[in-house]
Structure formats: C-alpha cells, structure tokens
C-alpha cells in the first residue's frame, strides 16, 4: 500500500459505473465517471437529487464498490486491496461527513470524534487530545462530555465535521456538510474545509448551494450519473 505524495492524485475515479437492480428495473447510478482530485484541491459536486452525488462519494471512500471501473486512493487501486486494507485506508486516510451524521449514540462527543484515531491504534490519551483540538477548531469543545442525543442537529453536524477532520486526513469526503447549519456557522465550516485543503488535503464536497461551491477550485456537475459539465473557479 503506497503512501500519499504531492505528485500522486489523492483520488482517481477511472471510468466508474455503478448499476443497481430494483426488482426488474436497472438503475445506473454512475455512468462512466472519470474524476481526478489532487492534494490541495477542493472539488465541489453539484446536481439534482438522484444524479449520483452520494453514490460517487461512497465509491470514492470505498464504502461501496463500482460495478465496473477503478478507484485509486493515493495511488492504491482499491479494487485490488483486501477488505482489511480498505478499512485501514478509511480509518487513517479518509474523513467522511455523512448527511445523517452517523454519530454513535452511546459514545460522548469527544469519544465519537477521537474514535477513528483510536481504531487506528493511536493511544487513547493522544487520540482524545487530538479530538479535543478538532472540537476547538469548530468552537464545540464545551460539548466534549455530552452525548449526541443531548445536542442539537446543528451541533451534531459540527461534531461530525470535527470527526472527519481529526488527525491527518488526506482525503475529505463531505456530503452536504452545511445542510443543518445557519449561514454564519456554515461559512465558518467552509473556511475550515478550505484551510485544511490549503494545508494539503484533498476534498470532494457535495452541495446544492452555489455559494458554498464557490469555495471550491473546481465544480463538477452530475446529471443521471454522468459528469455533464465542469467549471474552474480559479480561471
């Protein structure tokens, strides 16, 4: 398994297709998608509901497998990695922000945030220190000892973002990370993502908001599982 470097793309989707069967109906969620994301690049993905945006993120993070095509993370062809190696990449290399947050209800906020590090064999004391620092980055350190059921939806969203950014995450996959947030907090989250990218991470951001897509270096437009357009925000 290779390690990240500046000249190796953080993420490559090569001719990726994802086909589902819904009874007798065949659904093409992704249709020959090609996408390369470099370290230090933020790519926004936009498109109508059902266009394949979340499927793209799930395949990019090896939570789902393509029907055909190849996925490379930091030069590693995920299709040739055993499940344990793919799980290791997810724990140590990829940060996810899910639409439904996916916080574990029986763990405190701090335990949720530091969990990816602890699963990656980082000692608990160090993992918790990094988790607390990630909470401080989003101004939520005072929630450390509370449980997900004791905080608001917007607070849970910010905690999920802290978990995605904790430690050294080289690839951040964010599915509508500002969805449950007020405008001011959403802007601060985008600043945080942009800062992490400017420090060298890669980020794929799914959003329906043009004002948040404007933070990206590139915007990719999906429709019916196909990339139909692309815009360079730096041009």
CATH code of residue 188: 3.40.50.300
Residues 12 and 53 in one domain: yes
Q: What is the mean pLDDT of residues 55-75?
A: 94
Provide the domain limits for residue 123: 104-167
In a domain, 227, yes or no: yes
**pLDDT tens track for 10-57:** 999 999 999 998 889 999 999 999 999 999 999 999 999 999 999 999
Residues 161 and 187 in one domain: no
In a domain, 235, yes or no: yes
Q: Which tokens go with 75?
A: 């030069």
pTM, two decimal places: 0.88
User: Among 167, 188, 212, where does a domain finish?
Assistant: 167
In a domain, 98, yes or no: no
User: Among 167, 192, 220, where does a domain finish?
Assistant: 167
In a domain, 161, yes or no: yes
Residues 68 and 17 in one domain: yes
In a domain, 127, yes or no: yes
Report residue 5's pLDDT band, with 50, 70 and 90 as the boundaries: low
């Amino acid at each position: 398994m290779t390690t990240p470097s500046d000249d190796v793309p953080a993420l490559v989707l090569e001719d990726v297709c994802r086909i589902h069967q819904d009874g007798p109906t065949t659904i093409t969620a992704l249709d020959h998608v090609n996408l390369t994301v470099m370290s230090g690049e933020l790519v926004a993905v936009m498109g109508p509901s059902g266009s394949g945006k979340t499927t793209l993120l799930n395949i990019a993070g090896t939570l789902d497998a393509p029907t055909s095509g190849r996925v490379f993370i930091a030069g590693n062809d995920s299709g040739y990695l055993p499940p344990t190696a793919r799980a290791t990449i997810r724990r140590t290399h990829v940060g996810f922000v899910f639409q439904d947050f996916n916080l574990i209800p029986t763990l405190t906020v701090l335990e949720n945030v530091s969990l990816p590090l602890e699963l990656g064999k980082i000692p608990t004391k160090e993992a918790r220190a990094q988790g607390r620092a990630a909470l401080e980055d989003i101004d939520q350190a005072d929630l450390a000892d509370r449980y997900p059921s004791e905080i608001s939806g917007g607070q849970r969203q910010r905690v999920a973002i802290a978990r995605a950014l904790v430690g050294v995450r080289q690839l951040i996959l964010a599915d509508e990370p500002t969805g449950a947030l007020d405008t001011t907090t959403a802007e601060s989250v985008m600043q945080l993502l942009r800062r992490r990218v400017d420090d060298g991470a890669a980020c794929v951001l799914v959003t329906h908001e043009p004002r948040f897509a404007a933070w990206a270096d590139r915007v990719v437009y999906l429709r019916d599982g196909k990339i139909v357009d692309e815009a360079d925000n730096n041009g």
